[in-house]
Amino acid sequence: MEQEPWSLPAGTLIWDRSQQLDQAEILYPFALEELLCKLVGEGGPPIVHLWRHRRAFVMGLRDSRLPFAREGKRWLEQQGYSTAVRNSGGAAVPLDLGVVNVSLILPKRTGQIDFRHDFETMYHLVRDALHAVTPDVAKGEIAGSYCPGDYDLSIRGKKFCGIAQRRQAHAFVVQAFVVVTGVGEEKARLARQFYQIAAEGADGQQFPDVQSDSMASLQELAGLNDVQPFIDAVKETVRGRSRMEEQSWKQIHLPDDAQVAEMVESLQNRYGID
């Protein structure tokens, strides 16, 4: 079957932070992307950001409004998870070193806004990066998964990737979590335990009914035993879909740690659970 045409803007840059694991604060990458999105919106080059975290649990805005969200957050922190509420869409997602986060930070197109186009771009990127190991990547909501949505990516009915989006005035971020290694059922059970605490007494429409057999990793589904081949494949796919301008980094004033720390505090104040 002929693949659908898709592309990334010319000069798209890759920032691979997947080996920078010294940041315990899970909001750091989200704060960084908030600043990078502003930079792109002001005329900077599009960016693909790759990152991982050792042990975190990221909630969506609707999760933060559950009756016992505070208690759920405390329980997670007692288990050693860095927790946060993200400002993009979607629901709760567990993260560890087997999960590769891929973010497309792109300028808004002129004309009519088409949210699905942006999700489609991420779907094609992940699908094409995995083409060498499996041709079976499907899209569509997987019942019982955590962070469910129309753009769940799955293999043989098991979800391994979810996609969310954050939009600013002149740019946007499409964020994908990709469960590459590990046991998908364990992550699903953690999400289910969180909801059992946080959503007690809530209407069933307010949170996903997570089932442990809905999730799996690419290690389980396609034999990927390490994250690096997937990271390399993503970068190769990006380079093939955009005309790289390697010197562009020299023209960018990247956010420094003080700016990111200030944005972390701002996000905590705006979205955090006390």
Annotated catalytic, 161? Answer: no
Distance CA 55, CA 255 (A): 24
Q: How many CB atoms lie within 10 A of CB 55?
A: 15
**Interstrand relation of 47-51 and 13-17 (parallel, antiparallel or unpaired):** parallel
The conformation of residue 55, written as its DSSP 8-state character, comes to E
Helix or strand or coil: residue 199? coil
Burial label for 135, CB within 10 Å (0-12, 13-18, 19+), is exposed
Query: What H or E segment, with its residue span, contains residue 107?
Result: strand 99-107
Catalytic residue, from 40, 58, 66, 147: name it: 147
Task: Supply 235's token pair.
Answer: 């970068």
Task: Answer yes or no: are the C-beta atoms of 33 and 105 closer than 8 Å.
Answer: yes
SS3 content of the chain, % helix, strand, coil (to 5): 40, 20, 40
Query: What H or E segment, with its residue span, contains residue 194?
Result: helix 184-198
The conformation of residue 68, written as its DSSP 8-state character, comes to T
Distance CA 235, CA 249 (A): 16
Helix or strand or coil: residue 61? helix
Distance CA 99, CA 114 (A): 28
Active-site annotation, residues: 147
